[in-house]
Amino acid sequence: MWLCAETAVLLLLLHGITIHALVDPLTAVASSLTVAGVSLLYKPIYCQFSECCDSKWLHTTAPNLRHSLETNVFGQHLAIDTVVKSINSHFKSKPSKALALSFQGWTGTGKNLVARLIAESLYENKAESGFVHWFSATRHFSRPEKKRYYQDQIRDWIEGNLTLCPNQLFIFDEIEKMPEGVLDALKPFVDFTVPVKGVEYRKAIYILLGNAGSKYLFDKTYQHFRSGGKRQDLRLRDTEATLWKESYYEQGGLRNSSLIKSHLISAHIPFLPLERSHVISCIHNEINSKNYSVSSHLTEITNQVLAELTFTPANELIYSTTGCKRVYEKVNLVIEDYAEE
């Protein structure tokens, strides 16, 4: 989320950081002393009620992350296991570099949901935290001719926020729609191994959400199924090397990226196509979240929602072409008929 100028200035003041550009040079020293004094006096009070970079607002462990993911994300054993291990390892000891995760797969398979649940596990204010920054390619980086401008924006934004607090989460969505090269702006921040001018870069987390390798993941999952293999037997090593190549060569923000060439992405995490049983779990999860008493109509509602969705391949109808993405709006429409009874 973007910080307004007033909020950014207030945070800088409360953290004892002097903004020399905002004061007359002749009063810079006096202003610095005043800011430091205000910070010492009021920061403890301020941080009791408003988000600050301290243990009240930041969680340096995520003990409930696995349970949260397993309760809300279906059919993604590889993603859940890799995400939990990556997050826990990142905070377990002093990291040598920032954590960078690439979530790859079909739309509706849970990439955005997992990113949101990570934010909820790490920050007291959950996904609404001022330390969580969600960028959309179509909203923030839509014009290829402005690539250099976008890179400067990203660098300034990351630098400014890490100066305030090192425990930041940066999420870049729809990276397949980004101009090629924009994400190269992340390289120095992901690659830093020591603090520079007192700024710690290694505690940050970067999550890239995209569709690169979707066809490969479908083919891999389907072939594994046709050969009689169990979905749970698929391992990260079975897909990661190919996803690395798909990200590098497919159109989008990671095409020819220095992040990939320099092996700075910590893990390319596959989100597999969802089977009918996984979609049914999504339907039931959404119904339960609405707290409607429709248990006597559960099968009927579920079948109506499934009938509104498309499955593939045509001769077997195993995998939902949109995952669970359309489930939530379909449930809301269907359930209204029963809620009115």
Rounded Cα distance between 204 and 101, Å, is 11
Determine what percent of the chain is predicted with pLDDT higher than 70. Answer: 87
Q: Please tell me the predicted confidence (pLDDT) of residue 33.
A: 45
Tell me the HSE value of 325 on the side-chain side, using a 13 A CA sphere. Answer: 13
Per-residue pLDDT tens digits for 187-229? 999 997 788 888 999 999 999 999 999 999 999 999 999 999 9
pTM for the full predicted model: 0.86
Dist. CA 134–CA 143, nearest whole Å: 18
The pLDDT of 171-199, averaged and rounded, is 92
Q: Where are the beta strands (DSSP E) in 277-318?
A: 311-312
Compute φ and ψ for 208, nearest 5 degrees: -110, 125
Handedness of CA 66, 169, 104, 101 (dihedral sign): negative
Tokens of 210: 């995209």
State which fold the 65-271 domain adopts: Rossmann fold (3.40.50)
Average pLDDT of every residue of the chain: 87
| pLDDT of residue 279 exceeding 70 | yes
Q: In this predicted model, what pLDDT tens digit does every residue of 7-19 receive, in sequence order?
A: 454 555 444 443 3
- The token duo for 64 is 């409930």
pLDDT-derived band at 5 (thresholds 50, 70, 90) equals very low
The radius of gyration of the chain from alpha carbons, rounded to an integer in Å, stands at: 23
Where are the chain's structural domains? Answer: 5-49, 65-271, 276-339
Residue ranges in 123-203 assigned as alpha helix (H): 137-140, 147-164, 187-191
pLDDT in tens, 94-143: 889 999 999 999 999 999 999 999 999 999 999 999 999 999 999 999 99
